Structure formats: C-alpha cells, structure tokens
C-alpha cells in the first residue's frame, strides 16, 4: 500500500491519473494487486482494512446508443436495469460494448471506475452514484487499470468529477 506518489501509466492510457490527482491536490491511498475482473477478485487481493467502500461500476448505454452512463453502486448491490432506466429518465439500458468503453473512457474491461471519466474529454458519459454508497466516507476506485485500487474520500471524488467537467448525480439505484 502506498499513499500519494505515482507510477507510469500503462500503454493506451490517455492521461496520467496520478499526475491529475496531484495537480488537483486530491489525496488517495493505493493498493497494488494482480489483475482483477470481478468484485470477488478485488476482495481476494485488497486487504480488508484498506479504507473505502467497495464499489461496482457499470458502463451502460441507452437503447439508441446515443447516451452513455457510468453507474456506481456498492459491490453487494444488484441492479434492476429496467427500473434504473426509469429512475434516470432514459430508454432501455444495456451494457455498452468494449469498443464503446475504449472510445469513451479509454480503458479496458475490468478497470471501470469513476476515475475513468478523466479520459472522457467530450463529456459524453453521465455519472450516477447510488445514494447509499455516496454516504460512505471514501470509495475504492481503479486508477484506469485493474492492477491497483485507490481509496479516495467522497468529497475528493466530487472535486475530481468537477475538475473533469462531469456533474455528479446521486440517486437511489433500484
């Protein structure tokens, strides 16, 4: 585990997340681990005493593929996509393809997190966080790769999103 500091970004990462966090004085704690692709794998590799609420992130699109959404909930939360589409006021939701993930967030599957909006310079992705999760003191997020997990205070996550031009919408995710 490390605090602050940074590592070289992996090939294909559009912007250095650590440089951005430092430039905006956003503190974090970092835990490096083997590649993970599921919430269960994160639990196996990130120590239980590492701070922050464990998150699940879904990259979704509407039926026409015109709107894209990053939805973040607690790792244990199951999501009803039909009810969520009504909650956020859009047509039927489905998971976006890996091509859309790369195009809009510049990351590969397994690395989806709120921090990925750093690469969404066109503001094409809308951010929704579950209200129950948002009440946590800090959240766990992948730093554009799935080989590390950062813990960042929720207030600092909000500052991060603001600095990237992404308004945060806190909703009760069904």
In tens, the pLDDT along 106-159 reads 999 899 999 999 999 999 999 999 999 999 999 999 999 999 999 999 999 999
Ramachandran category for residue 126: left, alpha or beta (phi over 0 → left; psi -120 to 50 → alpha): beta
Query: Average pLDDT, stretch 36-54?
Result: 94
Residue 14's pLDDT band, with cuts at 50, 70 and 90, is: low
Query: Average pLDDT, stretch 83-95?
Result: 95
The token duo for 131 is 């209200």
Cα angle: 33, vertex 154, 115; to 5 degrees = 50
CA distance 155 to 71: 18
> Model-level pTM?
0.89
- Return the pLDDT at 15: 65
Is residue 47 a contact partner of residue 21, using CB atoms and an 8 Å limit? Answer: no
| Domains detected in the chain | 14-171 (3.90.960.10)
Q: Quick one: which H or E segment has residue 22?
A: helix 17-23
Q: Is the pLDDT of residue 10 over 60?
A: no
Q: Is the pLDDT of residue 2 over 80?
A: no
């Amino acid at each position: 585990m490390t605090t602050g500091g940074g590592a070289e970004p992996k090939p294909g990462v559009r912007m250095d997340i650590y440089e951005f966090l430092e430039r905006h004085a956003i503190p974090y704690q970092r835990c490096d681990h083997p590649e993970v692709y599921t919430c269960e794998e994160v639990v196996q590799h990130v120590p239980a005493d590492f701070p922050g609420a464990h998150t699940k992130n879904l990259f979704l699109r509407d039926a026409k593929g015109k709107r894209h959404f990053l939805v973040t909930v607690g790792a244990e939360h199951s999501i009803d996509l039909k009810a969520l589409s009504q909650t956020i006021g859009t047509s039927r939701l489905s998971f976006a393809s890996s091509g859309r993930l790369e195009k809009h967030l510049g990351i590969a599957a397994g690395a989806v997190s709120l921090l990925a909006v750093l690469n969404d310079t066109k503001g094409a992705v809308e951010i929704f966080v579950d209200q129950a999760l948002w009440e946590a003191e800090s959240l766990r997020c992948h730093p554009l790769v799935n080989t590390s997990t950062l813990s960042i205070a929720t207030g600092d996550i909000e500052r991060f999103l603001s600095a990237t031009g992404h308004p945060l919408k806190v909703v009760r995710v069904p």
